[in-house]
Amino acid sequence: MDLLNILILFTIGLIAGVINTLAGGGSLLTLPVLIFMGLPPNVANATNRIGIFFNGIFAIRGFQSKGSKVDKYSIGLGIVAFFGAILGSLIAVDIKGETFNRILASVIILVVAYMLFGTKFSSVKEERVNPKSKTFGLIAFFLIGIYGGFLQAGVGYLIMAALTFINQFSLLKTNVTKVIVVPIYTLASLGVFIYNDLINWELGIALAVGSALGGWLTSRWSTRVNDQWIRYFVMLTAFAFAVKLFFF
């Protein structure tokens, strides 16, 4: 056991847990770190899902402790994303390392650009929960599940965009729905990756402990957190990781 790597992953997982619960983008940090530690990209991609799953579970518990509830629509979104994630994960199993690194680097740059220049999500007056909006939501989350099963990095922003523009959920309800959906479809990814023996359990558990703690703490105190400094940290660090993935 490499104690230094364990400590690094616990710390990165803690930061990622905070980021994922506030908005999304934690995998922009955790995935490159796992790759830089020497894991093949498909193994790093698989191992990262342990932290994602436990971050979601503990974030749900944290939100519930503050009075937020799990609703049927969120469960439905998670279920359709689950089936999409099976397809995405099967694609990810055999992807070549260099190709995966370039895709990840490109996604990181796009997400950082959005964080820098994109429209900020905000509260809205009236939710859209009619049958038409719910149908569009289910379709969108099946596609999000495919992407999430394949890569995961930046999926939080896709989820927030879908819930904001299709259903017009408030920021709080969007975050609660997100932390419900992600662990559901992540189960599908974990199943595919475990079946293909792609998970490094030692590093994955270290990452999961940090992610779970970050998710639980942030879900309980998210209304008091000023995330501006976190956004700057993520943008600068993730951009540096993208450069390394592309050129080194």
Residue 176, amino acid: V
The C-alpha angle with vertex 36 and arms to 200 and 202, in degrees rounded to 5, equals 20
Instruction: Supply the Cα-derived Rg of the chain in whole angstroms.
Output: 17
Helices 171-195 and 41-65: crossing angle in degrees, nearest 10, is 140
Query: According to the model, what pLDDT value does residue 194 have?
Result: 96
Q: Please state the φ and ψ torsions of residue 151, each to the nearest 5 degrees.
A: -130, -45
* Whole-angstrom distance, CA of residue 49 vs CA of residue 146: 14
Give the chain's mean pLDDT. 84
* Whole-angstrom distance, CA of residue 24 vs CA of residue 182: 11
The reported pTM is 0.84
Give me 166's structure tokens. Answer: 């299709």
* Whole-angstrom distance, CA of residue 126 vs CA of residue 124: 6
pLDDT of 134-171, one tens digit each? Answer: 999 999 999 999 999 998 888 888 898 899 889 888 87
Residue 194, amino acid: I
* Count of the separate structural domains present in the chain: 1
* Whole-angstrom distance, CA of residue 53 vs CA of residue 58: 9
Structural domain of residue 200, as residue ranges? 3-247
Give me 38's structure tokens. Answer: 């020497």
pLDDT of 50-71, one tens digit each? Answer: 988 988 888 777 777 666 777 8
Among the listed residues 46, 39, 49, 42, the one whose alpha carbon sits nearest the alpha carbon of residue 13:
49
